Amino acid sequence: MADVKAKAGLEDIVATDSSICFIDGDRGVLSYRGYDIHDLARFATFEEVCHLLWHGHLPQKHELGDLQSQLAAARPLPEPIIRLMKMLPPGDGMDALRTLTSALAHYDADAHDNSPRASYRKAVRLTGQMASLVATWGRLQVGGGPIAPDPALGHAANFLYMLLGERPDPVAVRAMDVALVLHADHELNASTFAARVAAATLTDMHSAVVAGIGTLKGPLHGGANAEVMKMLLEIGEDAPPDRIDAFVRGKLARKEKISGFGHRVYTTEDPRATHLRQMSHDLGKRAGNLKWFAMSERIESIVKAEKKLNPNVDFYSASMYYTMGIAIDLYTPIFAVSRISGWSAHVLEQLANNRLIRPRAEYTGPAYPQTWVPLDQR
């Protein structure tokens, strides 16, 4: 171990082989199974991306139909899960999602079967159920009742219908579909790595996903878009340009972080931000209120000019979700609604060629050996 040097945060350390996701941060490239994220965002549905992540290829028409039927069958939640949800105290959506996802294992016939077929069934089931959990939790938090999924609706449309209680229009459905596609996977990010570490012990998929949820909950991984929206609200919807400028420059002068900017991997613009910027604009235009989008654009221009930082996936998703009428507390859980597809794909890949993940640490403690001193002489 003497010639192996530790790197803080495992930065740039290659931990495994994977055929799921490729990133070139210097060129701003993100691809799933070789497909550029820009093409997927423009043309693919979330269901097509799920099939791509799980099976390694885009689905043919009959394969997509089969997957859509499987997801529709998976979306209804067991009644005991809904009762448990109603018993939980109001609070952080990620806390609820972590607890409820764990509880789902008790009602899954495949819970402790790690065979390839059973694991795939759980991937589909959890993807359908995750959306239902978050939508139903969101309904309950505002005093609404659970809404049963509609098997005639796609995944994005169903989520918005179950959450907001009305049939979403095509612009909203398209925006949510794009958001789900963009958040589906991102190589060995913290939550995906946590899920793979758990899966490598041959624990069940539910436990591996709960590890991912718990990791995503951390503010250094998920949650930045919620902080972005809180910042926009603090500035104020009707703030004049000089107030926006003073607010942002004041934070920069105090060396305070501006949420939604910079990325560990990308030195260019996060390619996902490109599409979320457009979705934020389109939704604001549809709602007749482009103020949040305009404010976000102004903040982006200042931060890029002053700090040379680009917006990441979280920055424009904040104003996009807010314009859609989605509560801020649900922003990170919605991340999980999408990322469950990537988490489960990585669990499937880990189980297919498993080896226990057990890294080493560079020891920095007291020199060895220390001399033992009896208790009465210390």
Question: Hey, which residues are catalytic here?
Answer: 263, 314
Residue 352 half-sphere exposure toward CB, CA atoms < 13 A: 14
Residue with tokens 């009742």: 145
Distance, in Å, from the CA atom of 311 to the CA atom of 301, rounded to the nearest integer, reads 10
Residue with tokens 């260019």: 268
Q: State the Cα angle at 309 between 313 and 177, rounded to 5°.
A: 15
Distance, in Å, from the CA atom of 48 to the CA atom of 200, rounded to the nearest integer, reads 27
Q: How many residues can be counted in the chain?
A: 378
Alpha helices in the chain (DSSP H): 37-43, 46-55, 61-74, 79-87, 93-104, 116-141, 155-164, 170-182, 190-200, 205-216, 224-235, 241-253, 271-287, 291-307, 313-323, 331-352
Give 13's strand partners.
none
Measured CA to CA in angstroms, residue 83 lies from 95, 103, 140, 168, 300 at distances of 16, 12, 11, 27, 44
Distance, in Å, from the CA atom of 224 to the CA atom of 128, rounded to the nearest integer, reads 25
21-24 and 29-32: which strand pairing?
A: antiparallel
CB under 8 Å to 48, separation ≥6 — which residues?
A: 58, 59, 64
